[in-house]
Each structure stands twice: as structure tokens, then as C-alpha cells.
Chains A and B, each alone.
Chain A
Amino acid sequence: MPLLDIADLSAGYGGKTILDGLSLTAERGDVVSLIGPSGSGKSTLLRVLIGLTPPTAGTVRIGGEAVDYADKAGLKALRRRMSIVFQQFNLFQNLTVLGNLTLAPVRTLGVAPAEAEARARDLLANVGLADKAGSYPDQLSGGQQQRVAIARALAMQPEILLLDEVTSALDPERVGEVLETIRSLASTGITMLLVSHEMAFVREISTKVVMMDEGRVVEQGSPAAIFETPTQPRTKSFMQAIIRH
């Protein structure tokens, strides 16, 4: 049974359909990369999965259990199993790095503050920022902030981590440090669903690559299959456009 099972999922904004009956699965430990042209609905898919944009049709199952997005308790349960990192980090500006990492575990998981802090320090050490615990987000570089954001998501101990173009807002020389963090994460066995334009990276770490267009899955398969022997014309043209680029 797949850990994440998305079936016929549809969603949109104000009557406009963005996701159009999309289906997708991920096994535990999978690293699934979503690729596709701008506006194809990749970010929307992640927002729907985490419950920020309500689905209009379809089901999402985690470990066989259907998620009830209309229900507060359902959302709460969902967000204990799944976490997300945004392109723009979105760290809480009023809190220190440590505060960012401990707030939710203490307030929503009921973890004791001392324990939450110890775990937060471990996580910071893992992303190479042990010395920044007392800093405020605006005192950090973009790459550092993004690594804190990843640590904050991990502090919730999710089974599934969603990452939306986490390197797009960074200076080129900062991209590497964040990719390195994700790479080491992948080796821990956490299930990840990531959107990225770093094709070499996608190819390297993904267990599965999903090509999206106009709110649907066009084609999916192993990195080698999608990058080297795509079957769909849309995938082919997308690959060519990237290579020419």
C-alpha cells in the first residue's frame, strides 16, 4: 500500500480549474519530483495536499486513511504527518531561529519546551546552523533561512515532506548548501515530494519523476526513463526546452 495515494484530485481558484483530476502515488521512502512548465499546477498541488487550498474533487490517502480537508480535526491530524517548506522560507520574523523551531512542537504537539529545544538544536546541527540558534531570520542569508525552514518543517517529525522550489529564491552560490541538506535528508528515508527546476539534482536524488502539465500528470517514471526516454510529446518538448536553455 502506498504511503501517499492521490486519486482524481481537482482544485482551482475562483472557479478556474488548476488541478484537473490528478492521480499520483508515493511509497514510503520515495523521493518524488514534480516537473513541468510554469503554471502547470505544481505549487497548487502541494498547497492542496497540505490543506491551504481546498480540493474540489478527488481523494488523498495517507497510509490508507482518507484525509478530510473540510474538517478541522482532519487537517490537524494531516499536519502531524505532513509538512511543507516554501520557496520564500516564510520564517516567523518575530522569533529567533530557535523560536521558529520550537513554537509549533510545543504548542501543537505538546512537547515539553526543554525537549523541543534539545531536538531543535539537533536539527540545527544537522543543517549546519548550530551557531545560529539565537539569530533572527533577517540576520541570516537566504540559504541559511531556507535551511532553518527545512529544520522547522522537520521539527514536526513528518512522514512526508513537501518542498516547493526551495532553491529558486536563492543566490546561485547558496543553492548548493540547501541541495546538500536535502540530499542528506533523502538518505534518512523520509518521504519527499519536491518541486524543483534543478534538473541535474532532480535526476540524482529522485526515485520517481512526475511530469505535469495543465493540472494533470503527463508522464511519470524513473529519472532515467523521464529524462532519457520520454514517451509523451509534451515531456519531450519540455526536456528540449530545458536543454536548450
Chain B
Amino acid sequence: MSGDLFSPETLAFLAAALGRTLWMTFIGCTIGFVIGMVLAILRRTRAPLLAPLRWAAALYVETFRRIPFLVILILVLFSVQAFAPDLSLLGIATIAVTLAATAYLTEIVGAGLDAVPRPQIESAEVLGLSWFDTLRHVVLPQAWSVILPPAAAFMVMFVKDTALASHLGVVELAFAGKILVNKGFSPLAGFGAVLVLYALISWPLGRIASSLESRLAASRHR
């Protein structure tokens, strides 16, 4: 198979690998965003009853932001073995992405919630709105425009970090480069092709993320 980097087989192989890269990133970050949202809101509750949960959420965030993603990947690989031995490597890597993304996205969502001016919340309070109504009708709609741009930027960032999943043997883009090189392509060609593919994905996505930022910054409502 060595020789033509642009043969249909090689291109299909790279496309499939790229698909896995995007899948891990998108699914992991999306689930991470949802959980991160829950954790960020949880951390901003006041009920004494929830104190242990607040404490656990804080510990979770602190822990997973201080462990290298590579170490998280390895830990997930070996601990997931215990209860889901049939899960694919791609699934395992996606769990690792989710765990890491949750920690970072909790912080991003939290910063967005904190950016809603205090008087907005006080106004809701004096109108007698419940905690949940305040969250749903006042805080979240306003936090949204502050949360989305960095969250999108984070997801674009993470496309690159998933390259480490190659260590588990997930045939994503970086591992695809390794396989090509092991099949006889020169490292420059194999890894170079992969590098270009990453750039082709990351650059436009980054553009979209930052245009999102300026679009949302332009209008405060909606």
C-alpha cells in the first residue's frame, strides 16, 4: 500500500480516522457540557443539604484539571475494563474526553453564570421568582452568550488534544499517521498529511467559534 498518499484507500482510511477524531471530540464535549452545566449550577446553590455535593463537584473539577489528559486516558482504559469490557476503544477514549471536558466546561459555564450582573438576580428575587425560575428565565438566557463562545473554542481546542487517544490504539487521525508511517510512508508525508488535516479542521472551526463570539457580543438579548 505504500507509495500513493492520495490513493482512494488511503484517503478513505484518513477520512475514517478523522471521523473518529471528530466523534470523540463532539460527543465527549457535548456530554461534558451538559454535565458541566449541572455541576456549575450545583456549585452555585446555597442549600446546606447540598453542601456535600458542592464539595464533591469542586473536588472533581480541581482533580481533573490537574491530571494530564494522557493519564486520564490510561486510567479510564484500565478502570472501564472492570465494568464495561465490551466497550470499544473509541468509546473508552470518548469517556476520557467527557471526564476531562466536564471539568473544564464546568469552569467555563460557571464563569458565564457569574457574569450575569448581581442586580438581575436580585430583581428576580424581589419579584418573588423561585430559584429555578430565576435560573431558567433570567440567568441562563443571559449567561448563554457569555458561555457559548469559550465553550465552542474549548471544543475546537480539544480536537487537537484527542490526538493523545492514539496511545490507546484508537485509530484516530494521529494514530492513522503512525500506521501510514509504519506501512512505509516517510514520516514527513505520513505525519505531514495528518498535520494538514488537523489544520484544515481546526482553522475553520476556530473561525466559526470566534465569529460566534462577535455575533453574540453584538446583541445582549436573545
Residues on A facing B (Cβ under 8 Å)? 50-52, 76, 79-80, 83-84, 86, 88, 90-95, 103-104, 107-109, 136-138, 152, 156
Please pick, from A84, A136, A137, A138, the residue contacting B126 in the complex, using a CB distance under 8 A: A84
Cβ of B139 to closest chain A Cβ, rounded Å: 9
Name the B residues within 8 Å of A107 (CB-CB): 129-130, 133, 137
Q: How far is the CA of A38 from the CA of B125 in the complex (A)?
A: 26
Q: How far is the CA of A79 from the CA of B130 in the complex (A)?
A: 12
Confirm or deny: B138 has a beta carbon within 8 angstroms of a beta carbon on chain A. Answer: yes
Question: How many residues on the B side are at the interface (Cβ–Cβ under 8 A)?
Answer: 20
Confirm or deny: B63 has a beta carbon within 8 angstroms of a beta carbon on chain A. Answer: no
- The 6 A-B residue pairs with the shortest CB-CB distance, nearest first, are A104-B127, A94-B141, A108-B128, A79-B128, A90-B123, A136-B221
Q: Which residues of chain B (128-144) have a CB below 8 Å from chain A?
A: 128-130, 133, 137-138, 141-142
Name the A residues within 8 Å of B133 (CB-CB): 103, 107-108
Q: Which residue of B lies closest to A149 (CB)?
A: B123
| Cβ A138 vs Cβ B221 within 8 A | yes
| Cβ B125 vs Cβ A52 within 8 A | yes
Q: How far is the CA of A152 from the CA of B123 in the complex (A)?
A: 10
| Cβ A103 vs Cβ B137 within 8 A | yes
Q: Kindly list 15 other residue pairs between chains A and B, CB separation below 8 angstroms, not including A52-B125, A86-B123, A92-B137.
A: A52-B122, A52-B126, A80-B128, A83-B126, A90-B117, A90-B122, A90-B123, A91-B123, A93-B221, A104-B124, A104-B127, A107-B137, A108-B127, A108-B129, A136-B221
| Cβ B126 vs Cβ A92 within 8 A | no
Name the A residues within 8 Å of B125 (CB-CB): 51-52
- Total of A-B residue pairs, C-beta within 8 Å: 68
| Cβ B138 vs Cβ A50 within 8 A | no
Q: How far is the CA of A51 from the CA of B126 in the complex (A)?
A: 8
Cβ of B142 to closest chain A Cβ, rounded Å: 5
Q: Which residue of B lies closest to A135 (CB)?
A: B221
- Flag B85-128 by CB within 8 Å of A: 1 or 0 each: 00000000000000000000000000000000101101111111
Q: Which residue of A lies closest to B118 (CB)?
A: A90
| Cβ A86 vs Cβ B130 within 8 A | no
Q: How far is the CA of A93 from the CA of B138 in the complex (A)?
A: 8
A94-B221 contact in complex given A88-B119, A103-B137, A107-B133, C-beta closer than 8 Å: yes
| Cβ A90 vs Cβ B127 within 8 A | no
Confirm or deny: B66 has a beta carbon within 8 angstroms of a beta carbon on chain A. Answer: no
Question: Could you jot down 20 A-B contacts, CB within 8 Å?
Answer: A51-B125, A52-B122, A79-B126, A79-B127, A86-B119, A88-B119, A90-B117, A90-B120, A90-B123, A92-B124, A93-B142, A94-B220, A104-B124, A104-B127, A107-B129, A107-B130, A107-B133, A108-B128, A108-B133, A136-B221
